[in-house]
Amino acid sequence: MDYDLGADAAELRKRLRELISAHIPEGFLGACTDDPRDLATTESFCKLLASDGLLALAWPKEHGGGGSSVWQQTVLREEMWAHHEPRGAQYMGINWVGPAVMRYGTPEQKARHLSAIAAGEVLWCQGFSEPEAGTDLASLRTRAVPDGDGWRVTGQKVWTSYAQMASWCVLAACTDPNAPKPKRLSLFLVPMDRPGITVRPIRSMLGPHHLNEVFLDGVEVFADEVLGEVGDGWRVMREALAFERVGIARYARCESLLDRMQTELGEDWDRLPESIRSRWVRALIDLRVARLLAYRAVSLQDDPSAGPAASAARIATTTCDQLVAELLFDALGPSALDSGSSAALHGAVEDHWRYAQAATVASGTIEVQRMLVAREALGDHG
Amino acid sequence: MKTALPEDIAEFAAVAAKRFTRFGGPQAALRAETEDHLRHDARAALADLGAFDLDVRSAGDDLLAAAVLGQAAGAAALPYPLVEELLAIDGARLALVNPDAPRIDHGDLAGDWIAADLDGTRYHVHPSSRTNAKLGPFLVPAILTESDGTVSAADVDLHLTLGSWRILGAVQQALEITRQHVTARMQFGKPLAEFQAVRFTIADASVAVRGLHELAKYTISRTESTAAQVRSADALILRLKAADTARQVLRTAHQLLGALGFCDESDVSVLDRHTQPLIRLPLSSEMLALRLVPGVRGGQLETLFSDPVAAEPV
């Protein structure tokens, strides 16, 4: 038994921290802010990472990636999320759209999309959720009606992150409403500037650009834009999302925030109420456990028990996100509500609390994760 | 990184579990409350497994073997002070105590005892007799003499760590019993396992137990490789998490087993009552958390971002 990530992973962590320190401004809180310079920061940082072979670190070299170990990928995931994801929306293309194209794409699709993603030149969004199909994605209603050699897509997507900035979308639509549920859907790789696509931002507590509605009004899609087989979208979607199994390394952001907050408080930390300091200890312990559960899930990889292990890791880390948000707010008192550069950690605490509310909702709700863990323990009852 | 136990250790764990089943499992522990010879039989079972040949202070495979042995003993509520004997000093079993209210599990067994608190202060011990308590039926109040030197921090850390592996075994077994119960027990015409509230409760307990298992493996794998202060913090962290997890999982077990779980004919009742000393002693998890507070700013409570802690001069 050995929990060392390896010398190459340690070296990578050091290198990433140096790059972030040199190129990401202090107080950076991600791409989705009111300040357009933040989006520009992520775009230039992605190109920098790409030029160093770090953006698509996990990808095979033949597709423009770095061919790294899973532990180097883990370090990349931790350091990026800890530092407010300076890749911006790129992680979606890198983490699952690209790998899905590698597995299911045609040679033409691979040639068109993979090198562009690896170079940090394009942003992707994911057109899955609908007003009446969130967690129950197989029930989505957006229709793709045959039209000539392709289809016309009509419907509405919602909660579509990054839709305003994305140049491409993985669009899920129903190609055969009479087929059994798992065979109704197909996935299309569609440019966002195609006529008939309208994006409307939704104001939310998460900040600008994050949530959007996407209206599809007779959007033309072509046969060569289908990812995988027609009618096989549900399977492709499920398998593709499994690339994101372990998900975001939320524990790393939490550990970083607690570390930065403790440094900022200095000796005042010792004067926090005993109950807060005790909760701080417990939070750090829970974060260690969440990190170890994530490592376990990563180490299992293709093992049949990898799915429930990843769900357990996600339950632990998303719960920690909210626990740390409340802890930091309680530690700060009234000033916790302040935002902007004059607030604690340049607004990172307030930002974290808002985003933490979505931790147990985004990318598979905690209820779904519990269902998956329970299924392993109890079988398919219910 | 290798997060799985080595194969030979996993095999040894399976052999130990079988031997403790042959001993009689938690129901034998229940009988041992009134039939003293069973505690000697428990020791014989441990001796069969080579427990007392293990050099736990040497770390490596012997320590891992002791950990999984403790885990199997915890699952069976084995009525014997295994950790205390594995860490014996000059033939005297080592007990961790709270000097404000010293109690020693199985302290009435023949043989010498040494007590130490979490600071490593060592005491001579005069155990009295058992009080036939429901919670911790083998607990013996003890009188400590004036402090008598020190016990190494490494021994205190190992004691906390190996005791946590016993707790791990107990909670894994409690969860398994609960899992079997909810899949078999019919209510309103269907198994309890078909109710979503039950499924989610089992899922939460399962995540807690998985997390404790990972933490236990991680902690024991690095006892030799970390600075002494970090190792001590690691041991406190593991014990705190083990105690908290036990409280959650045993509560879940009682709730889902209903009245059956309170009855001694159910292993959950025995596991709960017999594991209480490990969960509560030498300090509550609240007190363990307070002991860890200075380690936040001191860096002993390691994170991805804490600065390395320099080794203390010997």
- What pLDDT, on the 0 to 100 scale, is given for residue A211? 87
Q: Do A259 and B305 touch (CB under 8 A)?
A: yes
Token pair, residue A356, equals: 């933490």
- What pLDDT, on the 0 to 100 scale, is given for residue B311? 63
Residues of A annotated as catalytic are 244
Q: Model ipTM?
A: 0.97
pLDDT in tens, B215-257: 999 999 999 889 999 999 999 999 999 999 999 999 999 999 9
Name the 3-class secondary structure at A18: helix
| Selection from A243-247, A308-312, B268-272 with the highest mean pLDDT | B268-272
Chain A contacts of B222, Cβ < 8 Å?
Answer: 3
Q: Would you say residue A170 has pLDDT above 90?
A: yes
Q: Do A312 and B191 touch (CB under 8 A)?
A: no
DSSP secondary structure string for all residues of A170-213: EEEEES-TTS-GGGSEEEEEEETTSTTEEEEE---TT-TTSSEE
Residue range A199-205: mean pLDDT, rounded: 91
Chain A contacts of B296, Cβ < 8 Å?
Answer: 262, 269, 277, 280-281, 284
Q: Would you say residue B108 has pLDDT above 50?
A: yes
- Rounded percentage of chain A residues whose pLDDT exceeds 90: 67
Residue B314's pLDDT band, with cuts at 50, 70 and 90, is very low
pLDDT in tens, B127-153: 999 998 999 999 999 999 888 899 999
- The residues pairing with B27 across neighbouring beta strands, listed in sequence order, are none
Q: Which of A265, A366, A381 to mutate against chain B (most B CBs within 10 Å)? A: A381
- What pLDDT, on the 0 to 100 scale, is given for residue A111? 94
A54 interfacial to chain B (CB closer than 8 Å): no
Residue range B287-297: mean pLDDT, rounded: 97
- What pLDDT, on the 0 to 100 scale, is given for residue A70? 85
Q: Would you say residue A242 has pLDDT above 90?
A: no
- What pLDDT, on the 0 to 100 scale, is given for residue B5? 96
Name the 3-class secondary structure at B100: coil
Residue A244's pLDDT band, with cuts at 50, 70 and 90, is low
pLDDT in tens, A12-34: 999 999 999 999 999 999 988 88
Q: Is the separation of the CB atoms in A230 and A282 below 8 Å?
A: no
- What pLDDT, on the 0 to 100 scale, is given for residue A218? 97
Q: Do B241 and A285 touch (CB under 8 A)?
A: yes
Residue range B56-74: mean pLDDT, rounded: 95
Buried b (16+ CB within 10 A) or exposed e, A303-317: eeebbbbbbbbbbbb
Q: Would you say residue B310 has pLDDT above 80?
A: no
For residue B116, the number of C-alpha atoms closer than 13 Å in the C-beta half-sphere is 24
Q: Would you say residue A157 has pLDDT above 80?
A: yes
pLDDT in tens, A107-129: 999 999 999 999 989 999 999 98
Of A4, A274, A290, the CB nearest to B1: A4
pLDDT in tens, B253-282: 999 999 999 999 999 999 999 999 999 999
**Count of CB atoms situated within 10 Å of the CB of A22:** 8
Name the 3-class secondary structure at B185: coil
Count of pairs with CB atoms under 8 A, one residue in A, one in B: 145
Chain B contacts of A312, Cβ < 8 Å?
Answer: 206-207, 210-211
A104 Cβ contact partners less than 8 Å away, ≥ 6 residues apart: A227, A228, A236, A240
CA distance B138 to chain A (A): 31
**Of all helices (H) and strands (E), which one includes residue A143?**
strand A143-147
Q: Do A381 and B292 touch (CB under 8 A)?
A: no
Chain mean pLDDT for chain A: 91
Q: Would you say residue A141 has pLDDT above 60?
A: yes
Closest Cα to residue A222, out of A296, A292, A144, A156? A144
Residue range A64-78: mean pLDDT, rounded: 89
Q: Do A5 and B303 touch (CB under 8 A)?
A: no
Count H helices, E strands: chain B?
10, 7
- What pLDDT, on the 0 to 100 scale, is given for residue A239? 76
